Amino acid sequence: MKILFVCLGNICRSALAEGIMNKLVQEEGLEWVIDSAGTGGWHVGEAPDPRAIRIAKENGIDIARYQARQLQKKDAQIFDRILVMDQANYEQVLKMTGVSEHAAQIDFLLNSTHPSENKAVPDPWYDDKLFAPVFNMIDTACRSWLMNLKNELP
Ligand code: 4NP
């Protein structure tokens, strides 16, 4: 299974999701490929936001050496699942990769815990207080995706 998490900058939400999911699959002994990317290119090559690094560290996850990258068209050929944080990410992924909106390949991260609601993970970039709740939201959703996708495999 190959999973790509996508947000706008790839320095807050999707970087956290990559760190969380990496830890979860490692704990399960699964050899899945986990990665993240941003629809925007402003932070390419940068480490995650210090506030994201801090909340991850407080939860036993090290994302300090991650480097932001921008979503590529070819990501759609590589990843089984592209999980987005909000509606704007969703629309950008469709535009940038050509993936069909009806394909199971693309979905909202929070649809594992809130099926079909297409709920957004709020962007904590603008609000320091959001990092802790956003971490917990992503963590719960990742656990749920892991359980669902594990059961999907032959
Ligand atoms: P992210 O947060 O999409 O969760 O990584 C953001 C990071 C940077 C910007 C916006 C959102 N920015 O405008 O630079």
Q: Is 118 left (phi over 0), alpha (psi -120 to 50) or beta?
A: left
Is the shortest distance between the CB of 13 and ligand 1 below 6 Å?
Answer: yes
Ligand 1 midpoint to CA 70 (Å): 12
Burial class (CB within 10 angstroms; exposed 0-12, middle 13-18, buried 19+) of 121: buried
Is the shortest distance between the CB of 10 and ligand 1 below 6 Å?
Answer: yes
Ligand 1 midpoint to CA 11 (Å): 6
Is the shortest distance between the CB of 125 and ligand 1 below 6 Å?
Answer: yes
pLDDT greater than 70 at residue 154: no
Beta carbons within 8 Å of 97's beta carbon, 6+ residues apart: 71, 73, 75, 76, 82
Closest CA to 56 of 95, 23, 99, 89: 23
Instruction: Enter the pTM of the model.
Output: 0.98
Confidence of residue 151 (pLDDT cuts 50, 70, 90): confident
pLDDT greater than 70 at residue 29: yes
- Contact between 71 and 96 (Cβ < 8 Å): yes
13 among known catalytic residues: yes
Give the model's pLDDT for residue 42.
97
Mean local confidence (pLDDT), 96-107: 94
Give the model's pLDDT for residue 82.
98
Strand 33-38 to 81-84 pairing: unpaired
